[in-house]
Structure 1
Amino acid sequence: MNRYPTYYFVILFLAFLLSTIFWWLLLRDFNSSLIQVNTAGNYNESIYEFRPIDPDKIIVDKENNRKVISNIVNIAVKDTLSKTKDFISEFHKSYKQSDYQIIYADSTLNFIQIEVPDDQRIAFKNEIKEKMSPFELLVWDESLFSSNETNSKPDFEWFLRETNLSGSVANIDASDITIAIIDNGFDIYHPALIGRTYLPYNVIDKSENVQPRPENHGTHVASIAAGNQVSEANFHGICQTAKIMPIKIEDDNGYMTTTYIIKGILYAIKNKADVINLSLGLQSLNKISVEEQQNYMEFGAKDEESFWNEVFTYAEKNNTICVLAAGNSAMLTGVDPFQRSPKTIKVGAIDQNLQRTSFSNYGSYTTIFAPGKDILGAKPGNKFEMLEGTSMAAPIITGFVALLKSQNKKRSNAEIFALLHKNTELVNNLPILKYKTLN
């Protein structure tokens, strides 16, 4: 005989059914939120690939008078404890994905790149910090960079003599040191570079293909920093024994952007480069007065300045020092926020008379000057050519820093700065590299 009445089992069945429905609805909503972040939110980093720069989206930003991509805004979360996926989840609660699409994310730097409507870029930049107030954000445009070099008429080689770096000093054993050259492409089979390259990387397609672009730049820069001796050309680089890590950051359309550079720097740091050469700078258009330059350096692009300082501080924490070309605009170094970090070495250019070249940037942000006019270097196709620019001065310092680190790989950035100071002479009121000691 049944101990319980029929209605008792009906109640149990209904309770079980309601419980099942409750948990199904809860898990469905939970899974939907995960899908929103991981699929609609594009958080799965493995699916990201760089989008080619659309030439039709390049505009001149009237606020800062430089070229930017009209529909791209970059964001970084300053708090290193924050998670990229948390930002993405909150972002999609505030913005329609049909209008504001996350197209790239990098959890290493808490970095997110967002595609916005062209006519909303400035408004979006102005409101995003307030709208996403739980997060402390850096916000900046996708600006275009260019290499800091110009063509030069042929002249005799002089930069090795003037810096006291010719001869045996270039052969000091620096085989434990890695120099990363972040640039537009490389002829790694050139006699000046062959047998010296290590972990080549193309940030655009994530391959080892770093073949040179039509404009010779990366090959020339790498050869100055660390090229082999090539007797036929009466040439050798500053440090002939270090490993060269060639990192290509120019896409097939000839563009170099903020994101490409960041990926190149991260690759170099992750692979334990000791020194990074960045012969690059933001594309500026019209010159402005010195007073306007000083005002912009004091008040302008502070988010970008902060962001780049965080990147270079990250490099410093990993015992990697970054050497930057000061630029060829005959303006104050530091107008470009990329150059303001005290963690980096900024290099200006001098000519054969030990005068600042007519094109070199200058000012208190400039760490040191080195030869940058009529500089012999490698050219793809087993050739050599003369180029000029702060792009040529920077790798001279990069090669010298590699020599300094060869004496003690663990030397800190502060120690490298102090040694650079010991190896300078004040000529024509400029601190110019003049090798005296490695210790």
Structure 2
Amino acid sequence: MSKQKRVISSILLTAFMATTVFSMTGQVVYGKDLTSELQQKDVNISQSMKAITEDVNSNEIVPAEIIEASKINTDKVSSANKSKKLVESKNEILVKYKSKSKANIVKEKILKNKQVSKFEVKNSNKKFQIDTIEIGESDNMKDVLEELQKNADVLYAQPNYELNLFDVPGDSRFNEQWNLLNDGQAICGQTGIEGVDINVLPAWDIAAGGETVVIGILDSGVDTEHLDLNGNIYVNENEVPGDMIDNDGNGYIDDVNGWNFYDNNANVFTGAEFDSHGTHVAGIVAAVANETGIRGVASNVKILPLKFINGNSGTTEDALNAIEYASMMGVKIINASFGSTQYNPALEQAMNESGILFVTAAGNIGVDCSNVSIYPACFEIPTSISVAATDNRGNLASFSSYGSSIDVACPGVNILSTLPNDQYGLLSGTSMAAPQVAGIAALIMGQNPELTSEEIIARLKNNVVKSNKLEGKVNTSGRVDALAALNNVAPTYEVLPIPTAINTNGKSVENDINILSDNSAASNGKITKPTVSDSVYGISKA
């Protein structure tokens, strides 16, 4: 079928990404100019970045401030780690006797009273006179500890707790990932508020995701050779690369790393001009934890490229085929950073019947979804969660769609992630917010594989950080919190400062606010340019 016929027969879906792209050099590039700009490499992370940003409401181009490199606040990291419940060895106990000569008496009493299968000294610290006791794998640690602690010959007994370094990721540009650790650093000239992030560092002490969790990137293509992505790309072990044979009999030839549904071939990356969005999303989810670049929210999961968008748009038909394929390949979570204002029952059915957990972007048209619905974000599917975007001060992003049909909020302004050809860049949009929630869902799934998709979504929604800045903006009134969702314990309510008008001229602020003025584009010498435009066939980016 020709591409023209495919567009006519299906609804166009557009990627929710703010149109401004910041390359590593800090230069702004648009559309087709992106490929050449992304070839520039080796820029020091402390270099000042000049940029221009696009006002999503007026599309007026205005200069941005200089990005400031900021040192990570290790005090916050330390306190976050301290909040984690210490991990204990399942079968090792440290015992301090009042007198070492009583050790055998204590042992005999434990063996007699508790009928443990094993109570042996694994190691003795001579300096501190502490024994490491090993009990049987099936023995009840709690019962043994209680028996020891009430023994008159024992000074104290405790589990052999695991101790962890209070470290931060060593990825070279981690300090720019305010969404993961906001210590008040300035991004694009805006100073953040400490703690307004997804609280993922202490969550990493508990879970990393696990290689058995596969996340589908239902998007444009992914640069699978990127240094920060290659190690986490899903590999179909049942397929022989390059032999042009469908070795696993799934109907797709040489689908070693996913499938390109737009071109109907195994090439999931066709170039920076077409596949920057998917590459950026993939890095947010699962960039490798190493000494290079950035770190993904779930750096130990596998990502499966499901390319159905080329550039900015794709068809419902290709999306349905991609979802079907994902289900067949064992994908557990799909990130869906795309959408349309047209209700799409075929897409709704495919998502609902796939058995996959979907994370959807709320959309970038900056309106209440009660007035202008965005799909798939507004589908009422129990295994889907929708995400709005916030900035580094906890405000709902000016471009983000919102409303009672949107579930949660997550950072989505100036998010650093991977770009094709081993590059990195800042992008803004609900497209950047959704994959962080997908990553947190993967952390929960890896730690608690018995949970259903509905139960994971409930954890995400029930354990948000409720904020005064998000009341009435999303139905949970809160921002996702990785640690809270993992522990299934709701955090405390967050009250953030809201700017207030200061009257320095003795005038009535109320009167000034009520003065009528014409704010139309025409009256202010501006030309209107819609964020999206309707067509006979659907919605496409303007």
Which one-letter code corresponds to 2:308 in the other structure?
I
Alignment-derived partner of residue 521 in structure 2: none
| Cα offsets for 1:27-51 (capped at 9, x unmatched) | xxxxxxxxxxxxxxxxxxxxxxx43
Q: Which residue of 2 aligns with 1:179?
A: 215
Correspondence list, 1:39-58, <5 A: 50-53=1-4
Once the two structures are TM-superposed, the CA of residue 271 in structure 1 deviates from its matched residue by 1.1
Q: Distance in 2 between matches of 1:168 and 1:373?
A: 22
Partner in structure 2 of residue 360 of structure 1: 400
Q: 2:228 corresponds to which letter in structure 1? A: A
- Residue 206 of structure 1 and its aligned partner are, at CA, apart by 3.4
The 1:218–1:337 alpha-carbon spacing in structure 2 relative to 1, beyond 3 Å, is closer
Return the offset for 1:144: 1.4
2:305 pairs with 1:246 = yes
Question: Alignment partner of 2:458: what SS?
Answer: helix
**Could you say if the C-alpha distance between residues 308 and 249 of structure 1 is closer, same or farther in structure 2, counting changes exceeding 3 Å?**
closer
| Secondary structure of 2:331 counterpart | coil
Q: Which residue of structure 2 aligns with residue 226 of structure 1? A: 286
- Given the alignment of the two structures, is residue 160 of structure 1 paired with residue 180 of structure 2, yes or no? yes
Asked whether 1:438 is paired with 2:438, we answer: no
Question: 2:336: which partner in 1?
Answer: 278
Residues 308 and 183 of structure 1, relative CA distance in 2, 3 Å threshold = closer
The CA distance in 1 between the partners of 2:377 and 2:462, in whole Å, is: 23
Out of 396, 399, 402, the residue aligned to residue 442 of structure 2 is 402
Is the CA contact (8 Å cut-off) linking 1:184 and 1:213 kept in structure 2? no
- Check conservation: 1:327, 1:360, Cα contact below 8 A: yes
Please tell me whether the aligned partners of residues 320 and 347 of structure 2 are also in contact (alpha carbons under 8 angstroms): no
Residue of structure 2 equivalent to 1:310 = 349
- 2:374 counterpart (336, 339, 349): 336
Query: Does the 8 Å CA contact 2:378/2:406 hold for their aligned counterparts?
Result: no
* Aligned equivalents of 1:236, 1:167: Cα separation in 2: 14
Alpha-carbon distance change, 230 to 375 in structure 1, aligned in 2, over 3 angstroms:
farther
Provide the secondary structure at the position in 1 that maps to 2:437: helix
Report matched runs for 1:16-415 at 5 Å. Answer: 50-53=1-4, 69=7, 71-72=8-9, 142-150=10-18, 151=20, 155=67, 156-161=176-181, 162-166=197-201, 169=204, 172-198=208-234, 199-211=257-269, 212-215=271-274, 216-233=276-293, 235-251=294-310, 255-282=313-340, 304-315=343-354, 318=355, 320-333=356-369, 335-343=373-381, 344-415=384-455
Q: Distance in 2 between matches of 1:277 and 1:223?
A: 12
Q: In the aligned structure 1, how far is the partner of 2:478 from the partner of 2:209?
A: 27
1:3 match: none
SS state at 1:182 partner? strand
Alpha-carbon offset, residue 373 of structure 1: 0.3
- CA shift, 1:437, in A, is 4.3
Where structure 1 has 5 or more consecutive residues not aligned to the other structure, the ranges are: 1-49, 58-68, 73-141, 285-300
Tell me which moved more, 161-170 or 264-273.
Answer: 161-170
| CA deviation profile, 1:77-132 (whole Å, cap 9, x unmatched) | xxxxxxxxxxxxxxxxxxxxxxxxxxxxxxxxxxxxxxxxxxxxxxxxxxxxxxxx
Q: What amino acid is aligned across from residue 169 of structure 1 in structure 2?
A: W
> What is the CA deviation profile of residues 124-183 of structure 1, one whole-angstrom value per residue up to 9, with x for unaligned ones?
xxxxxxxxxxxxxxxxxx221111111256653200021111377186251110000011
Q: Which runs of 4+ in 1 moved over 6 A?
A: none
Q: What is the aligned residue count?
A: 283
1:399 maps to amino acid: G
Q: After superposition, what is the alpha-carbon deviation per residue over 1:345-387, rounded to whole angstroms, capped at 9, x for unaligned?
A: 1110000110100000000111111000010000111111010
Separation of aligned partners in 2, 1:273 and 1:352: 32
Distance 1:173 1:306, change over 3 A: closer
* Alpha-carbon distance in 2 for matches of 1:416, 1:266: 22
Task: Tell me the CA shift for residue 232 of structure 1.
Answer: 3.9
Q: Matches of 2:279 and 2:479 in 1, distance apart?
A: 25
Contact 1:191 1:230 in 2 (8 A): no
User: 1:226-264 deviations in whole A, cap 9, x for unaligned?
Assistant: 11124343x20000111110111134x864111111111
Q: How far apart in 1 are the matches of 2:376 and 2:303?
A: 24
Alpha-carbon deviation of 1:421?
A: 2.3
TM-score by length of 2: 0.49
More helix by proportion, 1 or 2? 1
- Report the residue type matching 1:275 in the other structure: I
Q: Could you say what secondary structure the match of 1:246 adopts? A: strand
Partners of 1:394 and 1:322 lie apart in 2 by 10
Q: TM-score, normalised by structure 1?
A: 0.60
Provide the C-alpha distance between the structure 2 equivalents of 1:254 and 1:420, rounded to a whole number of angstroms. Answer: 29
Structure 1 counterpart of 2:59: none
Partners of 1:189 and 1:214 in 2: CA distance = 16
Shift of 1:409: 2.5
Matched residue of 2:432: which SS? helix
Structure-1 residue corresponding to 2:71 = none
Call closer, same or farther: CA 1:213–1:183 in 2, change over 3 Å. farther
Amino acid at match of 1:200: G
Give how far 1:341 is off: 2.0
Structure 1 residues 163, 247: CA separation in 2 closer, same or farther (over 3 Å shift)? same
AA in 2 matched with 1:158: W
Partner residue of 2:53?
Answer: none
Distance 1:256 1:353 in 2: 34
Between the aligned partners of 1:173 and 1:144, the Cα distance in structure 2 is 33
Asked if 2 retains the 8 angstrom alpha-carbon contact of 1:200 and 1:208, the reply is yes
8 Å Cα contact 1:325-1:393 kept in structure 2: yes
Instruction: Give the secondary structure class of the aligned counterpart of 1:259.
Output: helix
User: Contact 1:157 / 1:374 at 8 angstroms: preserved in 2?
Assistant: no
Which amino acid letter does the alignment assign opposite residue 249 of structure 1? F
Structure 2 residue identity aligned to 1:313 = N
Shift in CA distance, 238/309, structure 1 to aligned 2, threshold 3 Å = same
RMSD in angstroms over aligned alpha carbons?
2.3
